[in-house]
Structure 1
Amino acid sequence: MKTTRSPTPATGSRLAALRENRWFTLVWIIPLAILVLAGVVLAARGIRSLPDVQAFLGEYPGTTTLPESAPVGFPAWLNWQHGLNAFFILFVIRSGWQIRTTKRPTMFWKRNNTGLLRTRKPSTRMSLNVWLHITFDTLWVANGVLFYILLFATGQWLRLVPVTWDIFPNALSAMLQYASLDWPVESGWVNYNAVQTISYFLVVFVAAPLALATGLRMSPAWTSRRLSRVFPIGLARAVHFPVMIFFVAFIVVHVILVFATGALRNLNHMYAARNDDGWLGFWIFAGALVLMILAWFAARPVVLRAIASLTGTVSR
């Protein structure tokens, strides 16, 4: 007669630790999400089969007409801007999450109040995570300012700013096409579909300025009491975190659609300034991805401490 072995103490402790893990309670979300997505696809396909909906899709195919002065294609500077933005925003989000989840920082940075950096005010002491966040915020903002200048100087803004009310019914049409897994027929080289236009507009002209404004309010360098009454720090915190979630959600959906709707052509648009199905854009993207992964693992406390020490004093 066979007997079943009871779990060893080590196994039992591992299972108990797994159950107590806060992420374990979220496991059920995965099958639920699969069921919800399957239901959405089936519902969208059923709705698309209705005669009135087919007529609506015929009248609003998902794209709007751009002004004749709108440029065609993506210049090389836009590819560089996109690559740098991806690199900077990765560490902006990472360091921001570390600030939010680290209860007791172990290392702190303080600016050296000497030379050109000498001021009458005492230097502010901040955690190393805050220093990293502000550093990449500064790089991200500098890249963004240059992006705005080139965007309006070259007319590329016409591709991002809705210029007609037809954008909304076309966006509804495009969302229905996405939901049914029958992708909108469009060429991003010439014109974005309505959903892309609205989402890119929100990222560039709404979410990014909100992230900057609320980030400045939460910065240790903010000392104005008068402006603090107008813009309370509680309001900044209430907006800043949801904006980060929006960026994360946008990036996830953006990456999925890039690979699901013609990966090689899309990567050529984004990284090689070309409108073909060659592999150049893919290899540039792969190189950029490797660089981001290496930087991610290199950003350890010992490395960050050495870099931060170049501009200030790091202490425990």
Structure 2
Amino acid sequence: MHDIIIIGGGPAGMTAAVYAARKMLDTLLLTKDLGGQMMWTRDIENYLGFQYISGPELIGKFEEHVRHYPTNIVYEEVTELERSADGIFIVHCGDKEYRAKTVVIASGKRPRRLGIPGETEYTGRGVGYCATCDGPLYAGKAVAVVGGGNSALQAAIELAAIASQVYLVVRGGIKADPVVVEKLQTTRKIEVLRGYVARGIYGGETVEKFVVAAGEGKERNLAVQGVFVEIGLDPNTEFVAGLTDLNEYKEIEVDCRTATGVPGLFAAGDVASGPDKQIIIAAGDGAKAALVAYEYLLHNF
């Protein structure tokens, strides 16, 4: 029996672990890996205290801080979460289960898929969801990036430094921060295809062609070796469905103190409802969730 189980090893989960450990709580951190979306980010320029730091560097600093405390980290994927009649949470990881008096869900989000022919077949063979991770594999090659937000534009800018040609496929308008848009406009080797949608990905052993269209009869066959999908993220909340309320985006509904409608259950970071998704906000949510969980334990156990 643990005082608190934290599900997720991103900035929210790792910060929650630090604050829980500082309160001398028996803490278990369950995660598939440490870092979350920071692992996909090369340039971080808005985390307080660092004018510039890469995602892997910031993960390293977070991990070093977490391991300074007696936190038990188990690398498992959570498949189900339930609450017993006596108020104890049971966390299932395949055929294993863990029990706790409180739970903080900080499971983050995962890349959204296009759902077009060839996407699944060529994932890992030319289709990717992390330009920071896989970009170096496409040095001197032509690639396409799908999306019109900050992550898509940043991916295109990163890839332009090593690729021979970058196509940015934008279905609607560009919705990114002005500083990112300005950088895109001054970056060479990027062709922006506005109003185009993805139709299919084709090739042999690896990707050779990406078909996009801008209406009937207006189709383009892009000769690319890589396609990076940057069209948004879906929350990892399947394991908690039915236990607590989710909003229209499948995020966990929380109040201003990270509490859900279930006593002892809290949610922090990108998986929780809220208009803004930033590393610093996720970290703050994680700290808040751990402190509120500690308060709950004082009054209920």
Give the TM-score category using the shorter length.
under 0.3
Q: Which has the higher contact order (CA 8 A, sep 6+)?
A: 1
Q: Compute the TM-score of the two structures, normalised by the length of structure 1.
A: 0.24
Q: Which has the higher helix share?
A: 1
Q: Which has the higher strand share?
A: 2
Q: Compute the TM-score of the two structures, normalised by the length of structure 2.
A: 0.25
